[in-house]
Structure 1
Amino acid sequence: MAGFCSSYVTWIYNETSNWATWEPGDRVDLGDIGYFDRSLKFTKADTSANLLNTPPHVIQVQKIGSRIHYSSRYFSVSTNASVGTPGAAAEVTFTLKRGEGHVLQTRQGVCEGVDNEASMLDAAKSAIATADWCLAWVLVCERKKVDGGFAAACKGKGTSFTMQASAPVPQGSIADVGFGLGVVKSDGQVNHWGFTQGSTPVFDRVWRVRPDMIDRLYGDNSEWISADRLYYRPGHSRLSPSDVTKMKRSELFETGFSVSSVFTTR
């Protein structure tokens, strides 16, 4: 399952430039603090409101429309016509052509962010200086909240799943079709998750301590140190707590990093 998870999260990032939740229906809130484990699963450890005494000020960044993501290189898609409905289809079947493949459909929703991001990062900087912030943690500052949809992760050539269409399917296009939450039938190894109103299948603007700062803050080579023990050590680091709090946010934190950099930069 760990390999399945990392494959799905990596695909979502490459497809949308967002981070995926695993299980995809899990809720991620703005201001969540956590870490990515070896399977790239985001695990919540705390919140900015609790740990930093700085709750997020939530704003709506933009509305988002319905969309479906999949690759025709990996899936063939077929439809079965509804009885008495010319040109429409009641069911849509995805069949995997090779290896592993994934499908993500999101219904309309909103992209939410925060307007006090700088204050949250300043509070995180203070928490680093007092050794209350694990250097492997990340801070979530943007998410997409949808009204419905689904995600599917499939493994093995010939694996297939069929979804019930909740709207007519124009011939040759499934871009705007609605699907029911359940799989009508499946064959092979299929993991499927249905989204309900308020689900957060993806999130973004994830901030972390810059990898080139971690050894300096830890005060030694941290390559073999487990993430839960990775904290600033003022007795070992050449940086004093005052040095840390005086650093610019851009010197200490970064966002926009890729999936491939999560475990290759230390």
Structure 2
Amino acid sequence: MRILAERTRHVHGLAHSQLFETRPGVADNHGRIIAAGLEEVEIITAGKAFFAHGGREHVLGPGAICWHLAGERTVHRADPRDPYHCVVVGFRVSGPAPHRPPRLTLPADGADSRAFALQIFSAWCSGGGDRDLLAGHAYLGLLWRAVRAPAATAGAPPAELRRALDELDRRHAEPLQVVDVATAAGVSVAHLHLLMRRHLRSTPWQELAARRLAAARQLLATTDQPVAGIGAAVGWPDPVHFGRIFRQREGLSPGAWRRRHRLG
């Protein structure tokens, strides 16, 4: 209870809550340095980001929580083929945090932290209710999700996993099978699934789909190629199948996404 009271006194309110997304083809958005009197939490909601912590660079997927104190730099490195989206929640605070929240955590249930962050953003945008109560709910809810998850630790990803990801990067537009990726990595299919669950909280199919979708978004945003041709170019020759997967992941049809995000 003493720690809870210290946390409650430390937070003076919500400074902001917003959605942020990187654009296709952008690898570094330079980030920001958190100003004095603020703490900021970024919760990845889609795509892929990279963040150096604990002596290594971590791959961040949906649900990852990054907690920044004053003077620290926000997430800034993106996968240009799979741009990340995040909810940003800023808190006004008094002085240093009484207990340092984990800088980076990778919750086992990424869907839960993602849904909670979107709930906070929606409540902030609605403008109703008690803002002080919302600030306390947001801070303690994010803190609970951060501390109950295993903190990101040092250590490079296994060489087998790096080989698998390299193979996906090189051949994602081909009619690739999971066994092909496992063979390139030098492991069994079952062990490949284990590696991806343990280190990426993902599956080979999800990693393949993420690369194809990222390539599709880039082509939609930067070219005049027909949608069906883009689907075929990234590895989904059936336009109906391509459209279904794209809508499931992006919430829009490829054509609607292009109209909203077209560059130039």
Shorter chain as denominator, the TM-score bin is under 0.3
Structure with bigger gyration radius = 1
Tell me which of the two structures has the higher relative contact order, counting C-alpha pairs closer than 8 angstroms and 6 or more residues apart.
Answer: 1
* TM-score relative to the length of structure 2: 0.23
Q: Per residue, is there more helix in 1 or in 2?
A: 2
